[in-house]
Structure 1
Amino acid sequence: MTSIELREALRQMLAVLEEERQALAGLDLDAIVGAANDKNRLCGTLDAGVDGEIDEECRGMLDAAKRLNEVNRQVRNLIAANVSARLNALTGSPQLYRAGPRYGYAGGRA
């Protein structure tokens, strides 16, 4: 993969991660699944590797994609913990899944 192809794939990944964030915020399941499929496809493209060195622009986009993906992962986990707590409250059963204190600082890192 050339540097130009890598740059384009990273731009697409950043756009998909932003779409995923919006889908998570709106709890839009179809959009969340679509974003997951797009991320998987783009990961396959990125797995092809790069011919030569990665330039600074690509490094910046890689870093931004990693941060966005981490924030989205934390949001998914918080949503799952919230759903679990609500289901447990409705059924009166003990909580099987607990989001630990590490999720308390998710907003501070972004």
Structure 2
Amino acid sequence: MIDTPSQPRPPLAASLRQMIAVLETERQALAGLDADALIASAHEKEGLCDVLAEFGPQALDSETRGLAETARQLNEVNRRVRNLLAANVAARIEALGGPHRMPRATYAAGRS
């Protein structure tokens, strides 16, 4: 049996810095309403979350703890911006359709 070396995992600090960069890119995509960039950011964040999942809390030192906190804060800001954008879109759609909504049963399969 041939023993194949596994790929070395990137250091925690490097992964956190990369996550911060992706979160900054996501913020810019939100500001520009760039759907393609938002999707790309989501894929990058998902991959980085997989990498970061390999580390436990015991891996944090003072530098990485600060980087993790920065990433957490950026993610929270981006989440709030996404929620505001979604609320704005919902309000505009409701304004177009008026205050009365169609019952969901109207759209159910098999109903006329």
TM class, shorter-length: 0.7 to 0.9
- State whether residues 6 and 50 of structure 1, in contact with CA within 8 Å, keep that contact through their aligned partners in structure 2: no
Any runs of at least 4 consecutive aligned residues in structure 1 with deviations exceeding 6 A, and if so which?
A: none
Other-structure match for 2:45 = 39
Partner amino acid, structure 1, of 2:21: A
Partner amino acid, structure 2, of 1:72: N
Structure 1 residue 55, shift from structure 2 partner: 1.3
- State whether residues 16 and 39 of structure 1, in contact with CA within 8 Å, keep that contact through their aligned partners in structure 2: yes
Q: TM-score, normalised by structure 2?
A: 0.77
- State whether residues 10 and 58 of structure 1, in contact with CA within 8 Å, keep that contact through their aligned partners in structure 2: yes
Say which of 63, 75, 78 aligns to 1:72.
78
Write 1 or 2 for the structure with the bigger share of helix.
1
Other-structure match for 1:101 = none
Say which of 12, 26, 33 aligns to 2:32.
26
Other-structure match for 1:89 = 95
What RMSD in Å do the two structures reach over aligned CA positions?
2.0
The more displaced of 34-43 and 85-94 is 85-94
The share of aligned pairs that are identical, in percent, is: 53
Could you say what secondary structure the match of 1:48 adopts?
Answer: coil
Structure 1 residue 93, shift from structure 2 partner: 3.5
The 1:85/1:32 distance shift into structure 2, 3 A limit, reads same
Give the gaps of 5 or more residues in structure 2. 1-7, 102-112
Other-structure match for 1:99 = none
Partner amino acid, structure 2, of 1:44: D
Write the distance in 1 (CA, Å) between the matches of 2:99 and 2:14.
Answer: 48
The 1:74/1:94 distance shift into structure 2, 3 A limit, reads farther
Partner amino acid, structure 2, of 1:20: E
The 1:85/1:52 distance shift into structure 2, 3 A limit, reads closer
Q: TM-score, normalised by structure 1?
A: 0.78
Could you say what secondary structure the match of 2:11 adopts?
Answer: helix
Write the distance in 2 (CA, Å) between the matches of 1:89 and 1:30.
Answer: 27
